[in-house]
């Protein structure tokens, strides 16, 4: 399905995502006992999490997973979990039992991948289906810690250990593209002029081979949120502002 594309200033993108998150959460929780999400780190976390923390959502019924994690302790500045703990989990009062972080600090990344996969599958099924995934995009088109240049990845069909990442830190954990694409809704957010070329390719070139392009092709339902700099190369008919 062709993604919905929104190009606008960051405040509008923040509100649009928060409103959609709240609507989907309330809809899901009206008919079952949990809402399962996969969250990122980086600039997208910084931009979106503070507003998410203010939403009228029953966070005691939201199961929070991460789409990827760096092989660092949970209190490390590079940790995706650490960013979420500061910007979302603590302000929203998310119970510890609803927080399912990847244990990137374990010396054995294969063990960490298997542990993360088992926890996700226990709540989201096997194969797991998340209700919502939010992901950023690298300048090279990577999403989560899925790189298109041959970084070695081993693990399960759900979570992979990544070695020799082209972007430090070298060791990481990531959900697979299959898991991301199966989510009920995939939100891709990209900010800044440096993302303009890769997002134009992903949205307008059928043969684009970057991970973000592949994810958008395979996603069940997707929304692309671009600030004006990241969306500046798109044809007018491709964007909604």
Residue 199 lies in a domain: no
| 194 falls within a domain | no
Residue 241: inside a domain: no
Domain with 151 in it: 4-174+181-188+206-227
pLDDT in tens, 44-74: 999 999 999 999 999 999 999 999 999 999 9
Specify if 71 maps to a domain: yes
For residue 241, the model assigns a pLDDT of 44
Q: Is residue 78 in a domain? A: yes
Give Cβ neighbours of residue 109 (< 8 Å, ≥ 6 apart).
71, 155, 161, 162, 163, 171, 173
For residue 35, tell me if it sits in a domain.
Answer: yes
Q: Tell me, what's the pLDDT at 237?
A: 45
pTM above 0.85, yes or no: yes
Instruction: Determine, yes or no, domain membership for 64.
Output: yes
If you count them, how many residues does the chain have? 241
In this predicted structure, what is the pLDDT of residue 47?
Answer: 98
Beta strand spans in the chain (E) = 4-7, 35-39, 62-66, 68-70, 99-100, 132-136, 152-155, 159-163, 172-175, 186-190, 222-226
Is beta strand 159-163 parallel, antiparallel or unpaired with respect to 152-155? antiparallel
Helix H or strand E encompassing 221? none
Task: Identify whether 13 is part of a domain.
Answer: yes
Can you give the CATH number for the domain in which 15 is found? Answer: 3.40.50.1360
pLDDT digits (tens, 9 = 90+) for 143-182: 999 998 766 777 779 999 999 999 899 999 999 999 999 9
Q: What is the pLDDT of residue 152?
A: 73
As given in the structure block, the two tokens for residue 114 are 């298997």
Residue spans of the chain under pLDDT 50? 237-238, 240-241
Say which DSSP state 143 is in: B
**Which phi and psi angles does 63 have, rounded to 5°?**
-90, 120
* Domains held by the chain: number: 1
Residue 231: strand pairing partners: none
Handedness of CA 12, 16, 17, 21 (dihedral sign): positive
């Amino acid at each position: 399905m062709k993604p919905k594309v929104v190009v606008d200033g960051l405040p509008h993108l923040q509100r649009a995502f928060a409103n959609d998150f709240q609507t989907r959460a309330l809809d899901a929780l009206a008919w079952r006992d949990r809402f399962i999400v996969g969250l990122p780190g980086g600039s997208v976390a910084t931009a979106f999490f503070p507003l998410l923390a203010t939403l009228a959502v029953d966070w005691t019924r939201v199961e929070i997973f991460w789409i990827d994690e760096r092989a660092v302790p949970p209190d490390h500045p590079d940790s995706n979990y650490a960013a979420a703990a500061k910007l979302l989990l603590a302000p929203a009062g998310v119970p510890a039992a609803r927080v399912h972080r990847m244990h990137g600090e374990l010396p054995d990344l294969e063990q960490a991948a298997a542990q993360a996969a088992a926890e996700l599958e226990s709540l989201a099924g096997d194969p797991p289906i998340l209700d919502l995934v939010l992901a950023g995009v690298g300048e090279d088109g990577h999403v989560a810690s899925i790189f298109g240049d041959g970084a070695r990845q081993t693990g399960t069909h759900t979570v992979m250990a990544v070695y020799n990442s082209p972007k430090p830190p070298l060791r990481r954990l990531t959900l697979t593209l299959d898991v991301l694409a199966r989510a009920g809704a995939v939100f891709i957010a990209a900010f800044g002029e440096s993302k303009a070329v890769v997002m134009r390719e992903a949205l307008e070139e059928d043969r684009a081979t970057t991970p973000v392009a592949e994810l958008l092709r395979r996603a069940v339902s997707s929304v692309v949120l671009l600030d004006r700099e990241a969306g500046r190369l798109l044809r007018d008919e491709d964007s909604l502002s």
